Amino acid sequence: MVVNSGKMTVIAIDGPAGAGKSTAAKQLAGVLHITYVNTGSLYRAVALAAHRAGIEPENVTRDFLDTLHLEYGNGKLLLNGEDPGEALRTPEIAQGASRVSALPTVREYLLPVQRNAALKEWIVMEGRDIGTVIFPDAQCKFFITASIEERARRRLAQSGEIASGATLESVIEEIRLRDERDSTRAAAPLKQADDAVFIDTTGKSISDVNAELISFLPEELQKRCK
Ligand code: DC
């Protein structure tokens, strides 16, 4: 990977739902002993807050957002001072997050929350637009994906975010819907940055994926893994 010292000390990991981004990003942050930021949880927190207030995702306004207190520090997300935990991981909140994420006002609101997470130290930040919009100057960028069948199988195996009675077909359909919404929205759609390394995790183990990611990191970071 080409390293430009004027760039941000950020490892940006983007890709669609269920591609294995979170697992890879978390492990990478673990071996490098650096902070991991999952930006999807910020969109999920907005969706959860709207849901609790009885507001449809599409009707979230800046005034509503300004009533929230959302922060991401030390790898932990707090919504109005509380860790929302598993409440963020339901199928309804996953779709709600995808819906609020199409609103430019939500993206504008979350931009400084994400940028403030990157200080002088290296961080791993995972999402949809980290390499394209949040940190176009990130030193390391990856775009991780996998076949839709494999992504659905992994979701089923995780079970947390799956509605009861879900089948492989219904999960494929749910992922297809989310992919379409995330990649066709006008505001910061999901797409690979021109300078991102593309990794297809289909059929690969977590340790294979991690070794592949590490092989593209600058030497300064690779040394930390030994
Ligand atoms: O990564 P996730 O499944 O937790 O993300 C939930 C939704 O949030 C996803 O469908 C799209 C949106 N999202 C986004 O638009 N930009 C990001 N950087 C991260 C997530």
Tell me the pLDDT tens digit for each residue of 58-105.
999 999 999 999 987 666 899 999 999 999 999 899 999 999 999 999
What is the reported pLDDT for 2? 42
pTM of the model: 0.91
184 CA distance to ligand 1 centroid (A)? 13
- In this structure, the residues whose C-beta lies within 6 A of any atom of ligand 1 are 17, 39-40, 43-44, 94, 97-98, 101, 127-130, 178, 182
Query: Contact at 8 Å (CB) between 74 and 35?
Result: yes
Give the CA angle between residues 93, 96, 97 to the nearest 5°: 85
The helix (H) or strand (E) run that includes residue 126 is strand 123-127
Q: Is 34 helix (H, G, I), strand (E, B) or coil?
A: coil
Strands 70-73 and 76-79: antiparallel
212 CA distance to ligand 1 centroid (A)? 24
The helix (H) or strand (E) run that includes residue 8 is strand 8-14
Rounded mean pLDDT, 194-223: 94
Rounded mean pLDDT, 39-48: 96
Closest CA to 96 of 43, 52, 170: 43
Task: Return the higher-pLDDT residue of 7 and 206.
Answer: 206
Query: Contact at 8 Å (CB) between 160 and 133?
Result: no
What is the reported pLDDT for 4? 45
d(CA 195, CA 109): 26
Which atom of ligand 1 has the smallest separation from the CA of 129? 18
Rounded mean pLDDT, 145-169: 86
Rounded mean pLDDT, 158-172: 82
Residue nearest to atom 5 of ligand 1 (CA): 40
128 CA distance to ligand 1 centroid (A)? 6
The helix (H) or strand (E) run that includes residue 79 is strand 76-79
What is the reported pLDDT for 120? 67
